Amino acid sequence: MHPVIERLTNAGHLDRVFIGGEWRAPAGRARSAVIDPSTEQAVAEIALGNAQDVDAAVAAARQAFTTWSVIAVETRAMLLDRVHALILERAELFAQAISLEMGAAIGMARSMQVPVAAEHIRVARDVLQSHPFVVRREGVVIVREPIGVCGLITPWNWPLYQVTAKVGPALAAGCTVVLKPSELSPLSALLFAEVMRDAGVPAGVFNLVNGEGPEVGAALASHADVDMISITGSTRAGVLVAQAAAPTVKRVAQELGGKSPNIVLPDADLPRAIPLGVAAAFRNVGQSCSAPTRMIVPRERLAEVERLAAEAAAALVVGDPRLPQTTHGPVANRAQFQRVQDMIEAGIAEGARLVCGGPGRPAGLERGFYVRPTIFSDVQPHMRIAQEEIFGPVLSIMACDSVDEAVAIANDTVYGLGAHVQGRDPAAARAVAARIRSGQVHINHPAWNPHAPFGGYKRSGNGREYGVEGLQEYLETKAILGAMNEEHA
Residue 489 has pLDDT above 90, yes or no: no
Report the C-alpha gap between 52 and 67 in whole angstroms. Answer: 24
- Is residue 163 in some structural domain? yes
- Is residue 59 in some structural domain? yes
Average pLDDT over residues 241-257: 97
**CA distances to 154, 156, 252, 254, 259 from 240, in Å:** 14, 18, 11, 11, 20
- Is residue 77 in some structural domain? yes
Residue 24 has pLDDT above 90, yes or no: yes
- Exposure string (b/e) for 293-304, b if CB count within 10 Å is 16 or more? bbbbbbeebbee
| Spatial contact of 181 and 210, defined as CB atoms under 8 Å apart | yes
Q: Which of 158, 31, 36, 162 is nearest to 101 (CA)?
A: 36
Average pLDDT over residues 462-469: 97
Query: Both 273 and 249 in a single domain?
Result: no
Average pLDDT over residues 106-111: 98
- Is residue 199 in some structural domain? yes
* Residue range 144-197, pLDDT digits in tens: 999 999 999 999 999 999 999 999 999 999 999 999 999 999 999 999 999 999
As a whole-number percent, the residues of the chain with pLDDT over 70 amount to 99
Query: Both 342 and 242 in a single domain?
Result: no
Query: Both 287 and 183 in a single domain?
Result: no
Q: Which of 422, 56, 379 is nearest to 274 (CA)?
A: 422
What pLDDT is attached to residue 412? 98
CATH of the domain at 275: 3.40.309.10
- Is residue 129 in some structural domain? yes
Query: Both 271 and 211 in a single domain?
Result: no
**CA distances to 308, 381, 398, 399, 417 from 347, in Å:** 21, 12, 13, 16, 23
CB hemisphere CA count around 177 (13 angstroms)? 27
Average pLDDT over residues 9-19: 97
Query: Both 83 and 158 in a single domain?
Result: yes
The C-alpha R_g of the chain, in whole angstroms, comes to: 23
Q: Residue 59 CA to chain centroid, in angstroms?
A: 27
What pLDDT is attached to residue 126? 98
Number of domains observed in the structure of the chain: 2
Strand blocks (E) in 185-270: 206-208, 228-232, 251-255, 261-264
Which pTM was predicted? 0.97
Query: Both 313 and 215 in a single domain?
Result: no
217: helix, coil or strand? helix
> Which phi and psi (to 5°) does residue 43 adopt?
-115, -15
CATH of the domain at 162: 3.40.605.10
* Residue range 334-357, pLDDT digits in tens: 999 999 999 999 999 999 999 999
CB hemisphere CA count around 44 (13 angstroms)? 27
Range of the structural domain that residue 469 is part of: 3-256+461-479
483 band by pLDDT with thresholds 50, 70 and 90 = confident
Query: Both 9 and 130 in a single domain?
Result: yes
Query: Both 198 and 322 in a single domain?
Result: no
What pLDDT is attached to residue 485? 60
Q: Which of 153, 406, 159, 348 is nearest to 255 (CA)?
A: 153
DSSP secondary structure letters along 364-402: T--SSS----EEEES--TTSHHHHS---SSEEEEEEESS
| Spatial contact of 359 and 393, defined as CB atoms under 8 Å apart | no
Query: Both 226 and 314 in a single domain?
Result: no
Residue 487 has pLDDT above 70, yes or no: no
- Is residue 489 in some structural domain? no
Query: Both 175 and 279 in a single domain?
Result: no
* Residue range 191-221, pLDDT digits in tens: 999 999 999 999 999 999 999 999 999 999 9
What pLDDT is attached to residue 488? 46
Query: Both 349 and 267 in a single domain?
Result: yes
Query: Both 268 and 250 in a single domain?
Result: no
- Is residue 68 in some structural domain? yes
What pLDDT is attached to residue 486? 53
- Is residue 326 in some structural domain? yes
Active site positions, annotated: 255, 289
Report the C-alpha gap between 56 and 388 in whole angstroms. Answer: 39
